[in-house]
Structure 1
Amino acid sequence: MARIKLSEYGYTPFQRLLGHNEMVMEKWRQLGIVLEQDGLLPKDLKEQVRRTMAQVNGCEYCKGKGKPEPASFNEKTSIAVGFAEVFLKQKGNISNSIFDLLRESFSDEEISELSAFIAFTTASQSFGAMLQLEASNED
Protein backbone atom coordinates (compact mmCIF):
# COMPACT_ATOMS: atom_id res chain seq x y z
CA MET A 1 0.00 0.00 0.00
CA ALA A 2 1.32 3.43 -0.92
CA ARG A 3 2.21 5.86 1.86
CA ILE A 4 -0.52 8.28 0.76
CA LYS A 5 -3.96 7.64 -0.67
CA LEU A 6 -4.41 7.66 -4.41
CA SER A 7 -6.19 10.69 -5.82
CA GLU A 8 -9.19 10.41 -8.10
CA TYR A 9 -7.21 12.02 -10.93
CA GLY A 10 -5.09 9.91 -13.27
CA TYR A 11 -5.31 6.59 -15.07
CA THR A 12 -2.59 4.53 -13.38
CA PRO A 13 -1.67 4.19 -9.71
CA PHE A 14 1.48 6.25 -10.41
CA GLN A 15 -0.55 9.03 -12.03
CA ARG A 16 -3.06 8.91 -9.21
CA LEU A 17 -0.29 9.55 -6.66
CA LEU A 18 0.81 12.56 -8.71
CA GLY A 19 -2.84 13.48 -9.30
CA HIS A 20 -3.14 15.27 -5.97
CA ASN A 21 -1.83 18.18 -8.06
CA GLU A 22 -3.54 17.76 -11.43
CA MET A 23 -1.27 20.21 -13.25
CA VAL A 24 1.89 18.43 -12.06
CA MET A 25 0.43 15.04 -12.98
CA GLU A 26 -0.62 16.19 -16.44
CA LYS A 27 2.71 17.86 -17.29
CA TRP A 28 4.63 14.84 -15.91
CA ARG A 29 2.49 12.53 -18.02
CA GLN A 30 3.02 14.64 -21.12
CA LEU A 31 6.80 14.70 -20.66
CA GLY A 32 6.78 10.94 -20.09
CA ILE A 33 4.92 10.43 -23.37
CA VAL A 34 7.45 12.55 -25.27
CA LEU A 35 10.49 10.87 -23.73
CA GLU A 36 9.20 7.30 -23.95
CA GLN A 37 8.17 7.34 -27.62
CA ASP A 38 10.42 6.83 -30.60
CA GLY A 39 12.59 9.90 -31.00
CA LEU A 40 16.21 10.00 -31.98
CA LEU A 41 16.41 6.78 -29.98
CA PRO A 42 13.93 3.93 -30.37
CA LYS A 43 11.41 3.36 -27.60
CA ASP A 44 12.55 -0.26 -27.24
CA LEU A 45 16.06 0.91 -26.31
CA LYS A 46 14.63 3.34 -23.76
CA GLU A 47 12.37 0.64 -22.31
CA GLN A 48 15.39 -1.59 -21.66
CA VAL A 49 17.13 1.36 -19.97
CA ARG A 50 14.01 1.97 -17.83
CA ARG A 51 13.79 -1.71 -16.83
CA THR A 52 17.47 -1.78 -15.92
CA MET A 53 17.17 1.31 -13.77
CA ALA A 54 14.06 -0.01 -12.03
CA GLN A 55 16.07 -2.90 -10.60
CA VAL A 56 18.26 -0.40 -8.69
CA ASN A 57 16.00 2.58 -7.98
CA GLY A 58 13.76 0.78 -5.48
CA CYS A 59 10.33 1.33 -7.03
CA GLU A 60 8.39 -1.94 -6.80
CA TYR A 61 5.76 -0.58 -9.19
CA CYS A 62 8.47 0.06 -11.79
CA LYS A 63 10.08 -3.34 -11.23
CA GLY A 64 6.67 -4.95 -11.75
CA LYS A 65 6.64 -3.78 -15.36
CA GLY A 66 9.36 -6.28 -16.26
CA LYS A 67 13.04 -7.05 -16.03
CA PRO A 68 15.57 -6.13 -18.69
CA GLU A 69 15.86 -8.58 -21.59
CA PRO A 70 19.60 -8.70 -22.40
CA ALA A 71 19.07 -11.34 -25.09
CA SER A 72 17.21 -8.73 -27.13
CA PHE A 73 19.92 -6.02 -26.79
CA ASN A 74 21.70 -4.79 -29.88
CA GLU A 75 25.02 -2.94 -29.53
CA LYS A 76 23.43 0.47 -29.06
CA THR A 77 21.01 -0.80 -26.41
CA SER A 78 23.88 -2.47 -24.55
CA ILE A 79 25.83 0.77 -24.52
CA ALA A 80 22.79 2.80 -23.40
CA VAL A 81 22.03 0.34 -20.59
CA GLY A 82 25.69 0.40 -19.56
CA PHE A 83 25.60 4.20 -19.46
CA ALA A 84 22.50 4.09 -17.24
CA GLU A 85 24.25 1.62 -14.91
CA VAL A 86 27.28 3.92 -14.66
CA PHE A 87 24.96 6.84 -13.89
CA LEU A 88 23.29 4.87 -11.10
CA LYS A 89 26.58 3.73 -9.57
CA GLN A 90 28.34 7.09 -9.90
CA LYS A 91 25.31 9.10 -8.72
CA GLY A 92 25.65 11.32 -11.77
CA ASN A 93 29.39 11.96 -11.34
CA ILE A 94 30.32 10.51 -14.72
CA SER A 95 33.82 10.91 -16.11
CA ASN A 96 34.50 12.48 -19.49
CA SER A 97 35.95 9.17 -20.69
CA ILE A 98 32.47 7.61 -20.45
CA PHE A 99 31.12 10.32 -22.72
CA ASP A 100 34.01 9.72 -25.11
CA LEU A 101 32.85 6.09 -25.32
CA LEU A 102 29.23 7.17 -25.81
CA ARG A 103 30.23 9.41 -28.71
CA GLU A 104 31.58 6.37 -30.57
CA SER A 105 27.99 5.11 -30.96
CA PHE A 106 25.72 8.10 -30.29
CA SER A 107 25.45 11.64 -31.63
CA ASP A 108 25.35 14.56 -29.20
CA GLU A 109 21.61 14.82 -29.88
CA GLU A 110 21.11 11.15 -28.97
CA ILE A 111 23.23 11.55 -25.83
CA SER A 112 21.06 14.50 -24.84
CA GLU A 113 17.86 12.47 -25.34
CA LEU A 114 19.29 9.47 -23.46
CA SER A 115 20.46 11.66 -20.58
CA ALA A 116 17.07 13.41 -20.35
CA PHE A 117 15.33 10.02 -20.38
CA ILE A 118 17.62 8.68 -17.63
CA ALA A 119 17.10 11.79 -15.47
CA PHE A 120 13.31 11.70 -15.91
CA THR A 121 13.18 7.96 -15.24
CA THR A 122 15.26 8.39 -12.10
CA ALA A 123 12.86 11.05 -10.85
CA SER A 124 9.82 8.88 -11.63
CA GLN A 125 11.27 5.79 -10.01
CA SER A 126 12.42 7.77 -6.97
CA PHE A 127 8.90 9.16 -6.58
CA GLY A 128 7.43 5.66 -6.69
CA ALA A 129 10.01 4.34 -4.22
CA MET A 130 9.55 7.29 -1.85
CA LEU A 131 5.80 6.73 -1.68
CA GLN A 132 6.17 2.92 -1.68
CA LEU A 133 4.04 2.39 -4.75
CA GLU A 134 3.62 -1.34 -5.17
CA ALA A 135 3.48 -3.41 -8.33
CA SER A 136 0.03 -3.37 -9.87
CA ASN A 137 -1.94 -5.02 -12.64
CA GLU A 138 -4.03 -1.86 -13.11
CA ASP A 139 -1.99 -0.40 -16.01
Structure 2
Amino acid sequence: MARITESNVGLTPFQRLLGHNIEVMEGWTHLGEVLEKDGLLSSELKEQVRRTLAQSNGCEYCKAKGKPEHEKFDEKISLAVGFAEVFLKQKGDLPDSAFNISRGCFSESEMSELCAFIAFTTASQYYGAMMKLEPGKKIERAYT
Protein backbone atom coordinates (compact mmCIF):
# COMPACT_ATOMS: atom_id res chain seq x y z
CA MET A 1 0.00 0.00 0.00
CA ALA A 2 1.31 3.43 -0.93
CA ARG A 3 2.35 5.83 1.81
CA ILE A 4 -0.29 8.38 0.85
CA THR A 5 -3.82 7.92 -0.42
CA GLU A 6 -4.20 8.10 -4.19
CA SER A 7 -6.05 11.12 -5.51
CA ASN A 8 -9.00 10.79 -7.86
CA VAL A 9 -6.93 12.32 -10.65
CA GLY A 10 -4.91 10.21 -13.09
CA LEU A 11 -5.01 7.04 -15.16
CA THR A 12 -2.43 4.96 -13.28
CA PRO A 13 -1.59 4.51 -9.60
CA PHE A 14 1.60 6.54 -10.24
CA GLN A 15 -0.37 9.42 -11.77
CA ARG A 16 -2.95 9.25 -8.99
CA LEU A 17 -0.22 9.77 -6.39
CA LEU A 18 1.06 12.76 -8.35
CA GLY A 19 -2.54 13.85 -8.93
CA HIS A 20 -2.68 15.66 -5.61
CA ASN A 21 -1.08 18.47 -7.63
CA ILE A 22 -2.64 18.35 -11.10
CA GLU A 23 -0.10 20.70 -12.67
CA VAL A 24 2.81 18.54 -11.47
CA MET A 25 1.07 15.35 -12.63
CA GLU A 26 0.30 16.79 -16.06
CA GLY A 27 3.84 18.13 -16.53
CA TRP A 28 5.44 14.90 -15.32
CA THR A 29 3.17 12.81 -17.52
CA HIS A 30 3.84 14.98 -20.58
CA LEU A 31 7.61 14.84 -20.13
CA GLY A 32 7.42 11.08 -19.64
CA GLU A 33 5.43 10.69 -22.85
CA VAL A 34 7.94 12.82 -24.79
CA LEU A 35 10.93 10.90 -23.46
CA GLU A 36 9.40 7.41 -23.86
CA LYS A 37 8.42 7.70 -27.51
CA ASP A 38 10.71 7.25 -30.49
CA GLY A 39 13.00 10.23 -30.74
CA LEU A 40 16.62 10.18 -31.71
CA LEU A 41 16.66 6.92 -29.78
CA SER A 42 14.07 4.19 -30.27
CA SER A 43 11.38 3.57 -27.71
CA GLU A 44 12.58 -0.06 -27.59
CA LEU A 45 16.10 1.02 -26.57
CA LYS A 46 14.64 3.28 -23.89
CA GLU A 47 12.36 0.51 -22.61
CA GLN A 48 15.35 -1.79 -22.10
CA VAL A 49 17.16 1.01 -20.26
CA ARG A 50 14.05 1.62 -18.12
CA ARG A 51 13.84 -2.08 -17.25
CA THR A 52 17.54 -2.07 -16.32
CA LEU A 53 17.16 0.97 -14.05
CA ALA A 54 14.05 -0.50 -12.43
CA GLN A 55 15.98 -3.48 -11.10
CA SER A 56 18.10 -1.19 -8.88
CA ASN A 57 16.01 1.90 -8.14
CA GLY A 58 13.72 0.33 -5.55
CA CYS A 59 10.28 0.79 -7.12
CA GLU A 60 8.30 -2.46 -7.02
CA TYR A 61 5.72 -0.98 -9.42
CA CYS A 62 8.47 -0.38 -11.98
CA LYS A 63 10.14 -3.76 -11.44
CA ALA A 64 6.83 -5.54 -12.06
CA LYS A 65 6.88 -4.39 -15.68
CA GLY A 66 9.70 -6.85 -16.33
CA LYS A 67 13.43 -7.37 -16.48
CA PRO A 68 15.55 -6.40 -19.49
CA GLU A 69 14.82 -8.62 -22.50
CA HIS A 70 18.32 -9.61 -23.58
CA GLU A 71 17.06 -11.27 -26.76
CA LYS A 72 16.11 -7.79 -28.01
CA PHE A 73 19.58 -6.34 -27.46
CA ASP A 74 21.60 -5.11 -30.40
CA GLU A 75 24.86 -3.14 -30.23
CA LYS A 76 23.14 0.17 -29.53
CA ILE A 77 20.80 -1.21 -26.85
CA SER A 78 23.71 -3.06 -25.23
CA LEU A 79 25.76 0.12 -25.03
CA ALA A 80 22.83 2.14 -23.67
CA VAL A 81 22.06 -0.48 -21.02
CA GLY A 82 25.76 -0.66 -20.11
CA PHE A 83 25.82 3.12 -19.77
CA ALA A 84 22.77 2.94 -17.48
CA GLU A 85 24.45 0.24 -15.38
CA VAL A 86 27.54 2.44 -14.94
CA PHE A 87 25.21 5.29 -13.93
CA LEU A 88 23.63 3.05 -11.28
CA LYS A 89 26.95 1.79 -9.93
CA GLN A 90 28.52 5.25 -9.84
CA LYS A 91 25.41 6.91 -8.32
CA GLY A 92 25.32 9.34 -11.24
CA ASP A 93 29.01 10.29 -11.08
CA LEU A 94 29.87 8.84 -14.47
CA PRO A 95 33.51 8.70 -15.51
CA ASP A 96 34.54 10.29 -18.81
CA SER A 97 35.31 6.78 -20.06
CA ALA A 98 31.57 5.92 -20.04
CA PHE A 99 30.98 8.77 -22.48
CA ASN A 100 34.09 8.01 -24.52
CA ILE A 101 33.02 4.40 -25.09
CA SER A 102 29.56 5.54 -26.17
CA ARG A 103 30.81 8.12 -28.69
CA GLY A 104 31.42 5.46 -31.33
CA CYS A 105 27.74 4.52 -31.39
CA PHE A 106 25.85 7.61 -30.22
CA SER A 107 25.86 11.19 -31.45
CA GLU A 108 26.02 14.00 -28.90
CA SER A 109 22.30 14.60 -29.45
CA GLU A 110 21.55 10.94 -28.76
CA MET A 111 23.73 11.02 -25.62
CA SER A 112 21.80 14.08 -24.44
CA GLU A 113 18.51 12.22 -24.94
CA LEU A 114 19.83 9.08 -23.24
CA CYS A 115 21.05 11.02 -20.20
CA ALA A 116 17.76 12.95 -19.95
CA PHE A 117 15.84 9.67 -20.17
CA ILE A 118 18.00 8.02 -17.51
CA ALA A 119 17.69 11.01 -15.15
CA PHE A 120 13.90 11.33 -15.59
CA THR A 121 13.31 7.58 -15.31
CA THR A 122 15.44 7.38 -12.17
CA ALA A 123 13.48 10.27 -10.63
CA SER A 124 10.21 8.52 -11.48
CA GLN A 125 11.42 5.25 -10.01
CA TYR A 126 12.70 6.97 -6.86
CA TYR A 127 9.29 8.62 -6.47
CA GLY A 128 7.61 5.23 -6.74
CA ALA A 129 10.05 3.79 -4.20
CA MET A 130 9.53 6.70 -1.76
CA MET A 131 5.78 6.25 -1.99
CA LYS A 132 6.03 2.44 -1.72
CA LEU A 133 4.03 2.16 -4.93
CA GLU A 134 3.23 -1.49 -5.58
CA PRO A 135 2.10 -3.25 -8.73
CA GLY A 136 -1.60 -3.00 -9.31
CA LYS A 137 -4.20 -2.73 -11.97
CA LYS A 138 -4.55 0.32 -14.19
CA ILE A 139 -7.38 2.68 -13.31
CA GLU A 140 -9.52 3.35 -16.37
CA ARG A 141 -10.60 6.85 -15.46
CA ALA A 142 -9.35 9.97 -17.19
CA TYR A 143 -8.12 12.77 -14.99
CA THR A 144 -10.21 15.90 -14.84
Q: TM > 0.5 between the two?
A: yes
User: 5+ residue gaps in structure 1?
Assistant: none
User: Shift of residue 98 of structure 1?
Assistant: 1.2
Aligned length: 139
Q: Per-residue CA shift, 1:33-64, capped at 9, x if unaligned?
A: 00000000000000000001000001000011
**Runs of 4+ displaced beyond 2 Å:** none
Name 1:49's counterpart in structure 2: 49
Name 2:142's counterpart in structure 1: none
Paired residue secondary structure (1:57): coil
Name 1:101's counterpart in structure 2: 101
Distance 1:46 1:137 in 2: 23
Assess if the C-alpha contact under 8 Å between 1:64 and 1:136 holds in 2.
Answer: no
Higher helix share: 1
Q: Counterparts of 1:127-138 in structure 2 under 5 Å?
A: 127-138=127-138
Q: Per-residue CA shift, 1:59-99, capped at 9, x if unaligned?
A: 00001111110111011000000000100110111111111
Distance 1:92 1:8 in 2: 35
Paired residue secondary structure (1:132): coil
User: Shift of residue 8 of structure 1?
Assistant: 0.5
Name 2:90's counterpart in structure 1: 90
Distance 1:114 1:78 in 2: 13
Distance 2:3 2:47 in 1: 27
Root-mean-square deviation (Å)? 0.8
Q: Output the TM-score relative to the length of structure 2.
A: 0.95
Q: Counterparts of 1:20-39 in structure 2 under 5 Å?
A: 20-39=20-39
User: Shift of residue 137 of structure 1?
Assistant: 2.7
Q: Output the TM-score relative to the length of structure 1.
A: 0.98
Deviates more, 1:59-68 or 1:114-123: 59-68
Identity %: 66
Name 1:81's counterpart in structure 2: 81
